[in-house]
Chain A
Amino acid sequence: MITLCAVVLIFLGLLFLLRGSFVGIAFGLILLGNGINLTIFAGSKPRLGMFAFVDRGAATSLSNDPVPQALVLTAIVIGFALLGFVVALIRKVAAIGPIDGSFMKEEDADE
């Protein structure tokens, strides 16, 4: 189930990225990032409703590996910071040119 969600998110993310508008790119990056986070989480084969222990000993069937969850947590935080930056950048782009990005095509004439 989690794997299916991850695949759908990644697929939608790529679809949005390829649409080529600024807002599409922002949505694409959000969906793609979260899809990858879910992939990592799903890849650790989590037992839902169980705790995550560092010192698992013999009780591996009763607990989850904490490292993938820590990785996902870190990635979510970093991803959120990046997202904030991208949104700010898009606002800046919108302030200097048309939102469809046509001004990016003509290469700058001079520095």
Chain B
Amino acid sequence: MNNLVFLPVGIAFLGFSLTLIVSRRSQKLASLAVAVCYVGFGVWSMFNLSRDVTLRLNVGGWPSPFGISLMYDNLTALLISLTGILYLATVLYSKPGKTSEDSPLFFPLIHILICGISGAFTTGDLFNLYVWFEVILLSSFVLLSLGNKVARIAGAFKYVVLNMLSSFFFLAAAGLVYNAAHTLNLVQLASNLGELALVSPNYVLSLNILLFIAFAIKSALFPFFFWLPASYHTLSPAISALFAGLLTKVGLYAIFRVNLFTFPQNDYVQALLGGLACASILIGVAGAIVQTSIRRILGFHIISQVGYIALAGIFAFSSDSTLQRFGISVALFYMAHHILVKANLYLVSGLVASITGTERLGKVTGLLATHAFLALLFAIPALSLAGIPPFSGFWAKLGLFQAALSANQILVIVVMLAGGFFTVFSMTKIWLSAFWGEAQWDGNARPQRAPVCSVIACILLSMLSVAIGLHPDLLFGRAELAARDLISGIHHVAP
């Protein structure tokens, strides 16, 4: 049973090898089959495998600290399922023969990116986490710099340099952590660092902050976000959806797993994370106001949404264990909702671009009259992102409000309300200029038909958002189990 831990990485790697061998035309079909297997395993494991036990595997039979240990708990299962859903949607959406997607490396790179993300979610070893981060980085670098557009290369360069700096921070911190605690296994680290913190609390705190900076760059928190709006809008829609949905979440996952629940509790880290989260919420929406291209607006909104998820920091060390668990599960619920909805918005904006030839607000108007169904596809995730009742975003925001209210964090509530208001403002701005009004397209761009596969991918994600909105208990139950494992797993379960 424990050997199944390796399966998410294995399946994605199989997809990588398979798409390298098969002919160009069957690449998409092979990728689809692999992605379906991945989703199947993810959902099956979420409901059957890891409910009460955390699966652990020491690779090669080496005991830690020499061997690498993998683990698979409820949090991993939840994130693997979400990764799988995006994996499937992205592969379904991609239409070979357009811009960067005509590269024969396109599908293999998607698979190896998913392989890296799965590895980061399943590993129980700090240095192994670094290696998976590098797998994600290298594959995303190559995906970013496919093609020769000036804007894309310029964006890619900023992304590459800032993310390499983040890797250096991570590498230095991981090495220093080993030299201080003599292990890299997260379970053992939790106890060793706890002992070390009694002797030299400031050294442990500085290691914690060093790791936090590395992860904060990855997750685009407030002062470290500049690479994100510079690069995401230049990608092809499918890739930008995959990046927007998953890459920042890997950073957040690492913050939750390592900074909050492996290192000894520290009020300074909690305050830092809470403060940066609030700043990200406000700066993100403020940056979006002046933008005039759909995907640039969405890029800034990622920063503000990352802030909402990072609010988990203010509940993480709460002395009230009910509030602690509720706060973390709400944050994980928010993360799940955000992964689905944000990716969907990117995919739909890609549809708008492929139908009208541009995604600049002002150049494309009146889509509602000509493409009513496309308008519906945009409206569902947009309303969900803004937190309007029947959709998933409503429950995510409501939960965060409840948690902040019971923690008596009035300032946080004000920030959340302001962020929510400006999110509605941005979505309305896109809606009013792109969908409302008379159909009037710039120049001689002729309206094209949207490819069927791509539309199906958007429908799939929209339906999931509606389903979560109508029946939030199912996802919330999983998020609660995940929060339980996140809080207790590393501290109390023996390896």
- Which residues of A does B touch, CB under 8 Å? 25, 29, 32-33, 36-37, 39-40, 43-45, 54, 65-68, 71-72, 74-75, 78, 81-82, 85-86, 89, 92-93, 96-97, 103-104, 108, 110-111
Residues of A within 8 A of B167 (CB): 82
Contact B175 A85 (CB under 8 A): no
Chain B neighbourhood of A32, CB < 8 A: 165, 168
Cβ-defined partner of B138 (8 Å) among A71, A82, A97: A82
Q: Are A68 and B172 in contact (CB under 8 A)?
A: no
On whether the beta carbons of B153 and A71 are closer than 8 Å, the reply is no
Inter-subunit contact B150/A29 (CB<8 Å): no
- CB neighbours of B141 from chain A (8 A): 85, 89
Residues 152-184 of chain B: 1 if any A CB is under 8 Å from the residue's CB, otherwise 0? Answer: 011011101100110110011011101100101
* Chain A, interface SS category: helix
- CB pair A40 B179 closer than 8 Å: yes
Which residues of B in the span 21-46 have a Cβ within 8 Å of any Cβ on A? none
B134 touches A82 (CB 8 A): yes
- In the complex, chain B residues 350-406 whose Cβ is within 8 Å of any chain A Cβ: 353, 358-360
Across the interface, name the chain B residue whose C-beta is closest to A78.
Answer: B134
6 pairs, A vs B, C-beta closer than 8 Å: A39-B172, A40-B172, A68-B178, A97-B150, A103-B150, A111-B359
Point out the residues of chain B lying under 8 angstroms from A103, CB to CB.
150, 154
Contact A86 B164 (CB under 8 A): yes
Q: Do A71 and B164 have beta carbons less than 8 Å apart?
A: no
B153, A86: Cβ atoms closer than 8 Å: no
**Docked-complex contact A36 and B171, CB < 8 angstroms:** yes
Most chain-B CB neighbours within 10 Å: which of A37, A97, A108? A108
Cβ A89 vs Cβ B176 within 8 A: no
Measured CB to CB, the closest approach of chain B to A29, in angstroms, equals 6
Residue numbers in A under 8 Å from B164 (CB-CB): 29, 82, 86
Q: Point out the residues of chain B lying under 8 angstroms from A67, CB to CB.
A: 65-66, 178, 184
The docked-state distance in angstroms from the alpha carbon of A72 to that of B239 is: 32
Residue B111 lies at the interface, judged by CB distance under 8 Å to chain A: no
**Known contacts A74-B127, A111-B234, A111-B359; A89/B160 CB under 8 A:** yes
Residue of B nearest to A42 (CB): B179
Cα–Cα, bound, A65→B182 (Å)? 9
Contacts of B131 on A, CB cut-off 8 Å?
74, 78
CB pair A85 B142 closer than 8 Å: yes
Across the A-B interface, the 6 shortest Cβ-Cβ residue pairs: A40-B175, A108-B151, A43-B179, A104-B154, A36-B172, A78-B134
